[in-house]
Amino acid sequence: MLKTALTQLFNIRVPVVQGGMQWVGYPKLVAAVSNAGGIITALSQPNPTALRQAIRETRALTDKPFGVNITLLPTINPPDYEGYARAAIEEGVKIFETAGNNPGPLIKFFKSQGCLVIHKCTTIRHAKSTEKLGVDVLSIDGFECAGHPGEDDIGGLVLLARAAKELKIPYIASGGFADGRGLAAALALGAAGINMGTRFMCTVESPIHENIKHKIVQSTEHDTIHIFRTLHNTARVFKNKVSTEVVAIEKRPGGAKFEDVRDLVSGQRGRVVYENGDPDHGIWSAGLTIGLINDIPTCQELLERMEHETEEIIGNMSSLVTPKAKL
């Protein structure tokens, strides 16, 4: 068994967290991952009352720990972040994943309620400032990730090696992880575990349409694209008709304003992709791990496989070290 600061702090078996995923992090998937750490995505729920219901639903499906993600990034209709936070606290949630801009007030609130907070960031600069806010675990999100990688474009290898040297609290590795080899590498880089998103989208319990799961299996690491580069809100998404059109609009002479792409990029349109299974209907997040995903296992099969792979790789690596010859 793998024992890390993450498995101990969150009382989970495998040091893997299923991070927040808009329109994917629903109770069924969260509960299925909960031998590791499942996270409900608050903003996938239309309002705080619906989030309460999702928390109750998840609790009915698992007696294992799970958390709630609140992501603070630009949105078309500003969500009631405070309402979601209060609802989750009142429902007894004890683990939160925060991400995005200006998380200070939210982190302060969760800590004042005795909760554990994982904060996701894409630079060591932000990781260090959030460390000072009292978060318990940092999630270091490399450029390989799905969704918003920030604007600094630093891959996980360098970010995690810096994290090992410079952070004082436990951190998990995010972006580019989909198998036991990745988990073993993350542990070697000093992480207490990993966060996975795209990999969990492609599981039996994932709520998205089967066509999209098969599309993920067929795709390679060349099938993602960055939108919003010119708007400084970069997002790695699946390369399809809509995302290619958005990038073409951004490249027009004189550039683009958000209003020029608003209808194309709307999350409500992206949500339909997961419901009707047409991969070209709208924007949907996908990380570079899309090139590592070749099957649709149950969450339990996936996590057991990863646990065994990781243990085997770590065990085999010890044979690389030969005792020093005596002089």
The piece of 69-77, 130-138, 152-160, 161-169 that touches ligand NAD (CB under 6 A) is: 69-77
> For residue 178, how far is the Cα from the chain centroid?
11
Q: How many CB atoms lie within 10 A of CB 275?
A: 13
Our CB check for ligand NAD shows the closer of 102 and 322 to be 102
Q: Which amino acid is at 176?
A: G
**123 part of the interface to ligand NAD, by CB under 6 A:** no
**73 part of the interface to ligand NAD, by CB under 6 A:** yes
Q: From the list 228, 234, 246, 310, which residue makes contact with ligand NAD (rule: CB under 6 A)?
A: 228
Q: Exposed, middle or buried by CB within 10 Å (0-12, 13-18, 19+), for 164?
A: middle
**265 part of the interface to ligand NAD, by CB under 6 A:** yes
Our CB check for ligand NAD shows the closer of 50 and 231 to be 231
Residues 93-122 that bind ligand NAD (CB under 6 A): 99
Residue listed under structure tokens 């065994």: 308
Q: Which residues contact 149 (CB under 8 A, 6 or more apart)?
A: 122, 141, 142, 143, 175, 226, 234, 235, 236
Q: From the list 64, 119, 126, 148, which residue makes contact with ligand NAD (rule: CB under 6 A)?
A: 148
Cα–Cα dist 150/127, whole Å: 13
Instruction: Find the shortest distance in angstroms from Cβ 131 to ligand NAD.
Output: 20
**40 part of the interface to ligand NAD, by CB under 6 A:** no
Our CB check for ligand NAD shows the closer of 233 and 300 to be 233
Q: From the list 27, 48, 67, 147, which residue makes contact with ligand NAD (rule: CB under 6 A)?
A: 147
Instruction: Find the shortest distance in angstroms from Cβ 22 to ligand NAD.
Output: 4
Burial state string for 282-318 with b = 16 or more CB within 10 A and e = fewer than 16: bbbbbbbbbbbbeebbebeebbeebbebbeebeeeee
Cα–Cα dist 6/13, whole Å: 9
Opening angle at CA 100, ends 96 and 103, nearest 5 = 60
Instruction: Find the shortest distance in angstroms from Cβ 75 to ligand NAD.
Output: 4
Opening angle at CA 80, ends 89 and 212, nearest 5 = 90
Instruction: Using DSSP, state whether 121 is helix, strand or coil.
Output: strand
Residues 76-95 that bind ligand NAD (CB under 6 A): 76
Instruction: Find the shortest distance in angstroms from Cβ 13 to ligand NAD.
Output: 26
Structure tokens at 41: 């995505």
Q: From the list 22, 35, 198, 234, which residue makes contact with ligand NAD (rule: CB under 6 A)?
A: 22
The answer to whether 239 and 225 have CB atoms below 8 angstroms apart is yes
Our CB check for ligand NAD shows the closer of 99 and 293 to be 99
**266 part of the interface to ligand NAD, by CB under 6 A:** yes
Residues 48-67 that bind ligand NAD (CB under 6 A): none
The answer to whether 119 and 17 have CB atoms below 8 angstroms apart is no
**43 part of the interface to ligand NAD, by CB under 6 A:** yes
Q: Exposed, middle or buried by CB within 10 Å (0-12, 13-18, 19+), for 201?
A: buried
**194 part of the interface to ligand NAD, by CB under 6 A:** no
Q: From the list 53, 75, 218, 220, which residue makes contact with ligand NAD (rule: CB under 6 A)?
A: 75
Our CB check for ligand NAD shows the closer of 73 and 317 to be 73
Binding site for ligand NAD (CB under 6 A): 22, 43, 71, 73-76, 99, 147-148, 228, 231, 233, 235, 258, 265-267, 270, 285
